[in-house]
Amino acid sequence: MKQINVVLADDHQLFRDGLKAMLQASGFINIVGEASHGSVLLTVLASQTPDIVLLDISMPQKEGSAASGIDLLPTIKERFPNVKCIMLTMHEDAQYILRSLKQGADGYLLKDTDEAELKTAIQEVYEGKKYFKNKISDLIVSNLSGEKSPETLLSEREIQIVRLVAEGKITKEIADQLYVSVRTIETHRSRIMKKLGVANTAEMIRLAYEKKLI
């Protein structure tokens, strides 16, 4: 199996150490660099030109700053167009997922992802695919891109709710804005996910983004 060169970008040394040991034990992943903040990451990318960066959202752009790792994505994509970026974060909020997609992330995983899924994500992104936690199956994507689109599957109110979720609004905020109960919004969300064949909010937002509902 071809070696995949990876750079780890996270401001926690212990996390990087553990991740490095785990990934290098795979036999096909080679850690070629590490970075604790954005300016170091850009320097490492310029010297190593890896295949993939595992990028934390909370990582600052430079030592002492509070900028988001998401803000680095456009710069990485512009300067190093062949480098793929997988967000590896503790943030599951819709707003972070959507921003990462818009800024060019090739994958999005939570830090509680198991070893097997992380290695699968690295392999698939290396092969040119997109990867997201609990991703939509090829069958579901195929069905939704056929005769029935999300626009026809969902009612106008359901599409409105998907857009509000994608904006990062929590259930109570959506209920208040639409003048309905929290339980009504929860029922709508459950129905939306069932119609789209998705298992969680991240998948729902990803599909809505791909189908230009948001």
Query: What's the pLDDT tens digit per position in 54-88?
Result: 999 877 666 554 457 888 898 999 999 999 999 99
CA pair distance 124, 130, nearest whole angstrom: 7
**Of 106, 110, 105, 107, which is closest to residue 93 (Cα–Cα)?**
110
Q: How many domains does the chain have?
A: 2
- Tens of pLDDT, residue by residue over 84-128, are 999 998 877 666 777 788 788 898 888 888 899 899 999 999 999
Residues 81 and 100 in one domain: yes
Residues 125 and 166 in one domain: no
CA pair distance 209, 60, nearest whole angstrom: 27
| 8 A C-beta contact, residue 122 and residue 53 | no
The CATH number of the domain holding residue 85 is 3.40.50.2300
- Tens of pLDDT, residue by residue over 135-154, are 433 333 334 444 445 555 67
CA pair distance 35, 45, nearest whole angstrom: 10
Residues 92 and 18 in one domain: yes
Q: Which tokens is 137 given?
A: 């199956």
Q: What is the mean pLDDT of the chain?
A: 82
β-partners of residue 110 are: 89
Contacts with 28 (C-beta within 8 Å, 6 or more apart), sequence order: 1, 2, 3, 4, 123
Residues 153 and 49 in one domain: no
Of 132, 151, 179, the last residue of a domain is: 132
Of 132, 159, 175, the last residue of a domain is: 132
Residues 95 and 42 in one domain: yes
For residue 136, the model assigns a pLDDT of 33
What's the whole-number mean pLDDT along residues 150-163?
76
Residue-range definition of the domain harbouring residue 181: 138-210
